Chain A
């Protein structure tokens, strides 16, 4: 069967061999743990502990401060040291709860969640909200909001984004290889919420072992299909994924629910399983430590709040001096200048390169070759948009559909003149969105 796909996209070096065969290792952190209050899209959580409080592993330390917000739990036992601003991977300083880890990992009571058999639709959504689950693929959109569309009966597809199209990342891959049962069980819980929906596990065809394993597991599940997607970046971008699996297309001002879809990432679905079946809040995630600068690339099960620095040390540190350290993958990750930064709910990887390809090239004149437009999954013309952005021409930027850019980075990757197309477009988009909010 031909792989499902979309038009555009690129084939960057995958780099997954570095860590793909490394089984998930449990990481035990030491010292201070940092829990930023904003690990999700929406309002920051409100602290419910204060300096000097004793906390247990799995205890609520900050609660959602609105519908679009999320609870935060401590991943360790210890004492609250302070509530202060701390640097996060994007470089911002964010108000955070800092907990001194006592190394005992004394567990709190399990979450007060009933038996799945007796739960109503709303009970399940409430449980997901209680557990503090957000989209763990990168955006961090609170999952309970995604699971509460206006018309649940009009949801026809529950898609699990198993594509992991970002180069170098293998955290979702390891999860699928090691715990596929949890993934399928998690999807079945989501399907309980949407009676008309079909479950789709969408996997890129560079992971044939996952596809086979998931197909074996779902052979008797009438409502679940495994779809093999063509390996291509950004196959896992939400709108492209929906199109590839269902042929329904949405633009930037629509939600997946408008196309009858709910899309969740692998680790998010597994977290739903943990919450509903094991009554555990979201306190850990899988993080890939990779790149050619790292001595031993690994996949770790990491308590949230652990610093990147510790995780790097556990991987043997750097085998050669890094030029660039990225939180996330090379396409959409954030370059960091400080490694004393915590793992949060959306941290999928730390990628360390000995060479910075961006600095190796000097941007030059656009030659109008059209490669950016060819690879753009949003079907816009990045070269023109970047020009408008650089000239601050908002009117033309909007006319050329600048707001339809998904910031995937394909244009900057492919540009032979090495222009910083994505950066210019991103900046303009941010300005326009900020101006809109002001009005």
Chain B
């Protein structure tokens, strides 16, 4: 009977949480923002979501089939990338934009570096930034309700006033998934409650951005302006769903806080001093590049050498 017994190194039990379940929870947590986006912007938003998710999943599948690698689409990470990419598209975008962005994200940012967990940049954001650079006009066309309208951040920059209430509920122009602070925070609460993310990165990001804007945006501590900056653009979506991407954030606790602060400062710089009023996507992919350095600087002290508490 001894040939029936399995042998392996301990431990012999495993927790039930798997990569696939984590990604599934992230998808679930993105549902409120996705649902609101589709309800708010209409059919084209739905088309973008479907096309983007399908593109990412199929790209990964075909890549792995061609290179005869194990098929990994069941871990749902490609679906998460696709959904995040769609949520970062303007609702007026043509259906082929997420196809280009998705193929770029999956092949050039993720698979060529070794697949899940090996990419050094958030694939969805890299895909979006690629599109913004290549198709600037199409990616910044925030037509809404049949007329060209400016996003609140563009209005703020022009010196106009914005309606904070509408910004929090999401009744504004913007990308598919970024407009409703309520929907995003609801999703974030799901992830926080289930232990998928913690507050280190989002909190340090948001607080440091708030302080930076207070100091350098030239509006002082004008709460109306600062809250509009927090609620506007991709900040909330970025802070909770993209800055917290496991593969591209530091693994150490202190590193996470440092990374959040770097993000806050970079976003502030882009929003105050760049030609575009937006800056979250570029700030995140730029700070992704700092992660190895941050990690090296924040190696934890081990137990018995000062790392007890």
Chain A interfacial positions (CB closer than 8 Å to B)? 6-7, 10, 12-13, 91, 167, 239-240, 243, 249-252, 254, 321-326, 330-339, 351, 353, 356-361, 364-370, 373, 377-381, 383-384, 400-401, 404, 409, 412-418, 420, 422-423, 426
Q: Are A409 and B10 in contact (CB under 8 A)?
A: yes
- Chain B residues lying within 8 Å of A368, measured Cβ to Cβ, are 117, 246-249, 251
CB distance from A91 to the nearest CB of B (A): 8
Q: Are B12 and A330 in contact (CB under 8 A)?
A: yes
What are 15 residue pairs bridging A and B, where the CB atoms are less than 8 Å apart in the complex?
A12-B13, A12-B15, A249-B308, A251-B304, A324-B5, A324-B6, A324-B12, A326-B10, A338-B2, A357-B14, A360-B14, A366-B117, A384-B251, A409-B11, A414-B15
Alpha-carbon separation in the docked complex, A332 to B13 (Å): 10
Q: Are A364 and B72 in contact (CB under 8 A)?
A: yes
- Chain B residues lying within 8 Å of A323, measured Cβ to Cβ, are 4-6
Q: Are B75 and A383 in contact (CB under 8 A)?
A: no
Q: Are A420 and B9 in contact (CB under 8 A)?
A: yes
CB distance from B187 to the nearest CB of A (A): 18
Q: B100-126: contact bitstring with A at CB < 8 Å (1 yes, 0 no)?
A: 000000000000001111100000000
Alpha-carbon separation in the docked complex, A379 to B302 (Å): 5
Given that A413-B13, A413-B14 are contacting pairs, would A379 and B300 also be in contact in the complex, using a CB cutoff of 8 Å?
yes
CB distance from B124 to the nearest CB of A (A): 15
Which one, A91, A416, A422, contacts B21 given CB within 8 A? A416
Q: Are A418 and B14 in contact (CB under 8 A)?
A: yes
Chain B residue total in the interface (Cβ 8 A): 42
Q: Are A367 and B116 in contact (CB under 8 A)?
A: yes
- Interface residue B97 (Cβ < 8 Å from any Cβ of A): no
Q: Are A357 and B13 in contact (CB under 8 A)?
A: yes
Which one, B11, B116, B309, contacts A331 given CB within 8 A? B11
Main SS class of interface, B = loop
Main SS class of interface, A = loop
Given that A335-B6, A335-B7, A367-B116 are contacting pairs, would A413 and B15 also be in contact in the complex, using a CB cutoff of 8 Å?
yes
List 16 additional A-B contacts (Cβ < 8 Å) besides A321-B4, A324-B12, A423-B8: A7-B308, A334-B10, A335-B9, A357-B13, A357-B14, A370-B246, A377-B303, A379-B302, A379-B307, A400-B299, A401-B302, A404-B304, A412-B14, A413-B15, A414-B17, A415-B15
- Chain A residues lying within 8 Å of B14, measured Cβ to Cβ, are 357-358, 360-361, 412-413, 415, 418
Q: Are A356 and B117 in contact (CB under 8 A)?
A: no
Alpha-carbon separation in the docked complex, A34 to B146 (Å): 87
- Chain A residues lying within 8 Å of B118, measured Cβ to Cβ, are 365
- Interface residue B161 (Cβ < 8 Å from any Cβ of A): no
Alpha-carbon separation in the docked complex, A335 to B6 (Å): 7
